[in-house]
Amino acid sequence: MREDQEFKEFRDLMTVPDTFEEGVGWRSIIAALFVGLLMTPAQLYMQLVAGIEMGPAAQWVTVILYVEVARRAFTQLKRPEIFVLFYMCGAVIHADGGLLWRQFLVQSEEMRKLGIAKYIPTWYAPSDPAVLAQRSFLIKEWMVPLLLVILVRFLSRLDSFGLGYVMFRLTSDVEELPFPMAPVSGMGMTALADASSSQDTWRWRAFSIGGVAGIAFGLVYLAIPNITGAIFAEPIQILPLPFVDLTDFTEGVMPAVPVLVSFDVTFLVTGMVLPFWAMVGSFIGMVVIVIANPILYHFGLLPSWQPSIGGIQTIQANTVDFYFSFGLGLGLAVAAIGLYQVFSGLRKKQKTADESGQVRTRVDWSRLFHPPAGRGDFSIFAAIMIYVFNTLAYMTIAYVLINHVHPLPAEVNGKIAYFPVWLLAFYGFVYTPLMSYVSTRMEGIVGQQVSVPFVREASFILSGYKGASVWFAPIPLHDYARQAQFFRTTELTGTNFRSLIKAELLIFPIMLIGTVAFSQFIWQIDSVPSQLFPYANEFWELRAYREGLIYSATLPGEAASPFKAAFIPGYLAIGFSLATLLYAVLSRFGLPVFLVYGLIRGLDLSAPHAIVPMFIGAMLGRFVFRKRFGENWPRYRIVFAAGFTAGIGLITMLSLGIVFMSKSAIKLNV
């Protein structure tokens, strides 16, 4: 399949600087405290209200704030300082709502219906209604889950310098893969560095325009509902959150088709930034779904769908009837395509003929042990030792929790069905390094990770284990491609790698305190989910249903397991065959590689409300803004998107400050 022009655009955005500088200083420490204590609640709150990840927004807000403070103090922040500041803020805002999700899951109606709730282990979350009614994580019943969260978070932060670094050295230093998506963050850092040094460059202007646009949209979409919800009994929503469900109005013409309309301009901006052909493929896939679902319903392949059940319930019904197995087939096809591209590309790169016809090796493997001078690299053997230590730690924790802590595995034929330790070792020392290398090479070549779906789930089911604890334990099954790309971005910004180690030592305690404290604060405001948190109220039960559908496959005596009803090998084969056929056709005619990934994404029915605005954004970028700005558009769009995210973050921080002050006052009065 031919190389896309879009890949070349990303490769040419930034080059590696000649020198690498230290990025950690006292300014970074103060900024990390600022974000950890003030912006972590915004991250949690926006996840619950709109399903929006506020991490990048809060990072940009903090960096902009410190750039402006530095300018008024007649000093400036260098690009490595800005990058480390951005990195530290991202780590501190590692508030994924995990504690809030845990308390919900043990109370989930879907988990109860599937028969899983009683099997959720107490080391994951206490299920006693009297304990949960207190809405507090700071009681003795939550101590074991909290300690496990802290331990796993520590291992995950340490893991940042393990196998991910090894994969970076292999793919970037040795094989010299381009990592076309790595410059995206680096361009934003460069724009802010220009502003810090009072340079009026195109990057800063594009960033500022995006920031103003983000503030304007955030005011209408998020700020007004948040502020009015804190003042009045009902919030004023100019644009509905998180979407408008039109399924009841369209089901007469398009039965079994979820019609969800989102007014989130963030999707539109994202569509401008992401590869054009991926967005086109997603839209085509969605159109196929719109046509196919009524046909599938007519022939009785979607029997669970009923009129007037709404969009979310339509997705849930279609998932169990068809799309669960069909989606697995699509995912397996993506993995197979990725493996084919990786090994065929590696074979071509490894050998080539010189003028005399002899074969020679192009890859210089000695670079693995001789990194560029001045970059701040640490020993690759130390990275390997970190990986081994973490994997053994995960294995030990998982084995003890699954097999020897309440609830214990069930008996099968008079014997306890323990989860095998050899399978944990296979995850950590065989599958993880192999698939991480494959996925990192895909990231380095086309900016697209690859994973084999259902490996974790299928291995749990086939292991013979009976119970539910295995689904909640920290299994040593990871993909380090994203970390490898992060090191490439670090290199492009000229940041000394050892700065990241110093940053980790500073931010870990701040990250823990912020996550626990503000999860506690938000839970005491109201039950989670509830009407105060629309996104969680709409989607969390659906998410619990999808997860529980798989969890039910390992329950004792699961003869009527919903998983067995949803897992249909024939539908899986259809998904796999369709995706591989699409790839073969596109490859035969030399069409863009991103088109096949977009098609598969559109066919899995995972985000119907996001595909249309992202497609509109892609069309605007391709046929309107590219003509207006010419060859500079690829750079402009990335910096504009960074500014837009920062603008939304600014206005959201302001509105949430009012919300939290209001709720705190109400709590004190009570």
pLDDT at 610: 84
Q: Are 116 and 553 in contact (CB under 8 A)?
A: no
pLDDT 10s digits, 228-264? 877 777 788 888 887 888 999 999 999 999 999 989 8
Query: Which of the four pLDDT bands, split at 50, 70 and 90, describes residue 131?
Result: very high
669 against 58, higher pLDDT? 58
Residue 460: other Cβ atoms inside 10 A: 19
Res 358: pLDDT: 47
Q: Is it the case that residue 654 has pLDDT exceeding 70?
A: yes
Residue 102 is predicted with a pLDDT of 92
**Could you tell me if 359 and 353 are in contact, meaning their C-beta atoms sit under 8 angstroms apart?**
yes
End-to-end distance of the chain based on CA atoms, in angstroms?
A: 65
Q: Exposed/middle/buried for 145, CB within 10 Å: 0-12, 13-18, 19+? A: buried
Contact assessment for residue 42 and residue 656, using Cβ atoms and an 8 Å cutoff:
yes
pLDDT in tens, 534-548: 778 878 888 888 888
3-class DSSP state of 554: helix
Say yes or no to pLDDT of 1 above 60. Answer: no
pLDDT number for residue 2: 47
Kindly report, residue by residue over 201-223, the tens digit of the pLDDT. 777 788 889 889 999 998 998 88
Percentage of residues in the chain with pLDDT exceeding 70? 81
pTM over 0.75: no
**How far apart (Å, rounded) are the C-alpha atoms in residues 85 and 571?**
48
Q: Report if residue 361 sits inside a domain.
A: no
- Domains identified in the chain, total number: 1
Read off the pLDDT of residues 417-452 as tens digits, 9 standing for 90 and up. Answer: 788 999 999 999 988 988 888 788 777 865 667 666
* Residue 128 counted as domain residue: yes
**Whose structure tokens read 């006052």?**
665
Is the model more confident about 288 or about 409?
288
pLDDT exceeds cutoff 50 at 336: yes
**Which of left, alpha, beta for 349 (phi over 0: left; psi -120 to 50: alpha)?**
alpha
Residues 6+ apart with CB under 8 A from 2: 590, 592, 593
Better-predicted residue by pLDDT, 565 or 640: 640
pLDDT recorded at residue 661 = 67
- Report yes or no on 33 lying in a domain: yes
Q: Worst-scoring range by mean pLDDT, 146-150, 334-338, 448-452?
A: 448-452
Q: Which residue has the higher pLDDT, 76 or 286?
A: 286
pLDDT for 142 beyond 90: yes
What local confidence, expressed as pLDDT, does residue 636 receive? 84
- What pLDDT, in 10s, does the model give residues 384-394? 999 999 999 99
Q: Do 566 and 319 meet the contact criterion of CB atoms below 8 Å apart? A: yes
Residue 361 in this model has a pLDDT that exceeds 50: no
Range of the domain at 242: 5-348+367-669
Q: What is the mean pLDDT of residues 41-49?
A: 72
Q: Is residue 360 part of a domain?
A: no
| Residue 4 pLDDT > 60 | no
Alpha carbon distance 123, 402 (integer Å): 10
- Assign 90 a pLDDT band (cuts: 50, 70, 90): confident
- Check whether 124 has a pLDDT greater than 90: yes
Confidence of residue 93 (pLDDT cuts 50, 70, 90): low
CB atoms within 10 A of CB 619: 16
Provide, rounded to the nearest whole percent, the portion of the chain with pLDDT above 90: 21
pLDDT confidence of 593, banded at 50, 70, 90? low
Confidence of residue 87 (pLDDT cuts 50, 70, 90): confident
Q: Is the pLDDT of residue 357 over 60?
A: no
Query: Does a structural domain hold residue 359?
Result: no
Q: Which pair of tokens denotes residue 79?
A: 């690009």
Q: Would the pLDDT of 668 be above 50?
A: no
Q: What is the mean pLDDT of residues 145-159?
A: 90
What's the pLDDT at 277?
Answer: 83
pLDDT for position 373: 84
Asked if the structure places residue 356 within a domain, the reply is: no
Does residue 362 fall inside a structural domain? no
Q: What is the pLDDT of residue 558?
A: 52
Confidence class for position 9, pLDDT limits 50, 70, 90: low
Looking at per-residue confidence, does 150 or 664 come out higher?
A: 150
Q: Which of 144-153, 361-370, 451-460, 468-477 has the lowest mean pLDDT?
A: 361-370
| pLDDT tens column, 545-591 | 888 888 888 888 755 556 666 778 899 899 889 888 888 887 777 77
Please compute the mean of the pLDDT values over residues 128-153 and round it to a whole number.
91
pLDDT at residue 353, as a whole number: 44
Going from the C-alpha of 508 to that of each of 63, 82, 196, 438, 547, the distances in angstroms are: 19, 19, 28, 30, 30
Q: How far apart are CA 507 and CA 31, in angstroms?
A: 10
Residue 373, in any domain of the structure: yes
Tell me the C-alpha distance between 109 and 176, whole Å: 51
Assign 395 a pLDDT band (cuts: 50, 70, 90).
very high
Q: What is the pLDDT of residue 564?
A: 66
β-pair partners for 82: none
What mean pLDDT is reported for the chain?
81
pLDDT tens, residue by residue, 619-631? 999 999 988 888 7
Contacts 24+ apart (CB under 8 A), 422-429: 423/459, 423/463, 424/394, 424/395, 424/398, 424/399, 424/475, 424/476, 425/395, 427/456, 427/459, 427/475, 427/476, 427/477, 428/391, 428/392, 428/394, 428/395, 428/476, 428/477, 429/391
